[in-house]
Amino acid sequence: MSEKKKGKLSPVIDYKKHEDPFSKGVAFCPGCGLELLIRFIPQVMGNDIVMTGTPSCSAPVLLGQNNQSWHSLSYFGTLMTGAAANATGLVRYYNRAGIDNTVVCFNGDGTAADIGFGNMSGAAERNEPFIYICYDNEGYMNTGIQKSGTTPYGASTTTTPVAKGSRGKNLRRMNLALKMAMSKIPYAATATLSDLGDLAKKLLKAKEMKKNGFCFLHVFAPCPTGWGYDPAMTVEVCRRAVKTNYFPLWEAENGKIRMTKTVNKPKPVEHYMEPIKKFKHLDDNDRAILQEDVDYELCMLGGLSILEKECVLPEAAD
Amino acid sequence: MSKNTYFKHEGPWSDANDPLMCSDTGDWRTKRPIVDKDKCIFCGFCQIYCPVQVMEMVGDSHFEADLGFCKGCGICAQECPKQAITMVSEGEFVS
């Protein structure tokens, strides 16, 4: 065999210390960001974690079908209205029984941002010791691509279609991770699939910080079926979201925000929107609103991350 | 008593001792990834980014997709830094 130039094996492979608990052929769409994430979590955190979750894209696989299971993890299926409350119950049971394990509440953005937000907020306030992972595909993808609280401005979904009298979602998205960081929980972070090393570090850190209380991870997981882009672009879309500051990567310990990746020359948000069909109809005016939204959130993050050092309040204008 | 056999385990879907359910996702594929062994620098990007985790190491020379389960999304070809993976239409392999 002829000699050839060899690169260095990606360091992410070293983070995958455990076996993949899922069977090979599971029913996710080709190019699904969620599938990449859901196989990555137990490979990094260990196969002894207990997962809870709600009806979502993840449920058909995690819950199993026809008396059979797609994976060998422990899973507890709950309703969307009580996701965090059920995880609280599990954690309290394990604490009382003296069993030390990691409970991961794995939900979509519909549960985390809209339907189950109330009890998640409550669990954060009570500082229950479990990890809440929200995979953000910006909509209710499993039920047929309806809009959710994290759907960005202008995005076309089945409940905010591009038709007569409607040009996509006319509301701005909420920043769920920042909301949770403001709850002053021990650990809150954002991560995405283009930077798996960063995601693995945050998962391990959450597993470590879990003994202090509630940990929240917001993972950006694009959906090729719902957003209308080529399935091959899933990781590229994540990368573009980070490069345009559409989805900045940061972590917050006890409410103190620290950026984990800073982008020196951010590209305009058009660069992120270009391969995605749900933004195809937007005109310059709409793009400006989305750009303003992105700049505003980044500005807010920047402001919050210097709070630690020096705090100068702006003078009151009377 | 009851002849119900569904709940003999802890929960109806929670027994991992049974063989895991596994669909034949390989037949969803319309394009298959072909790895150019000479161009491959063994960086492992295709393996870490593959959603189905089907890219397998062949010794320590290159990666090869398990075509039984590869869904043909093409992320490996998109992410390969050396463009060593090409997506070839399944039609060319029909005999």
User: Which tens digits make up the pLDDT trace of B45-94?
Assistant: 999 999 999 999 888 888 999 999 999 999 999 999 999 999 999 999 88
Q: What are φ and ψ of residue A36, in 5° steps? A: -60, -45
| ipTM of model | 0.88
Q: Decide if domain A12-305 falls under CATH 3.40.50.970.
A: yes
**pLDDT at residue A290, as a whole number:** 93
Q: How many CB atoms lie within 10 A of CB B93?
A: 10
Q: What are φ and ψ of residue A61, in 5° steps? A: -85, -45
How close B17 gets to chain A, by Cα (Å)? 8
CB contact under 8 A, B69 and A25: yes
User: Which tens digits make up the pLDDT trace of A261-291?
Assistant: 999 999 999 999 999 999 999 999 999 999 9
Residues A119, A83 contacting (CB under 8 angstroms): yes
Alpha-carbon gap, residue A221 to A132, rounded angstroms = 15
Q: What percent of chain A has pLDDT over 90?
A: 75
pLDDT of A20 over the 80 cut: yes
**From A22, A39, A232, residue closest to B74, measured CB to CB:** A232
Pairing outcome for strands B31-35 and B55-58: unpaired
pTM equals 0.91
CB contact under 8 A, B73 and A231: yes
Q: What is the mean pLDDT of chain A?
A: 90
Q: How many CB atoms lie within 10 A of CB A253?
A: 17
pLDDT of B11 over the 90 cut: no
**pLDDT at residue B7, as a whole number:** 42
Tell me which residue of A108, A126, A241 sits closest to A176, measured CA to CA.
Answer: A108
Residues A228, A237 contacting (CB under 8 angstroms): no
Residues A217, A208 contacting (CB under 8 angstroms): no
Chain B touched by A69 (CB under 8 Å): yes
CB contact under 8 A, B51 and A64: no
**pLDDT at residue A70, as a whole number:** 86
CB contact under 8 A, A235 and B43: no
Question: Domains plus CATH for chain B?
Answer: 25-90 (3.30.70.20)
CB contact under 8 A, B20 and A68: yes
How close A257 gets to chain B, by Cα (Å)? 28
Task: Count chain A–chain B contacts defined by CB atoms under 8 A.
Answer: 132
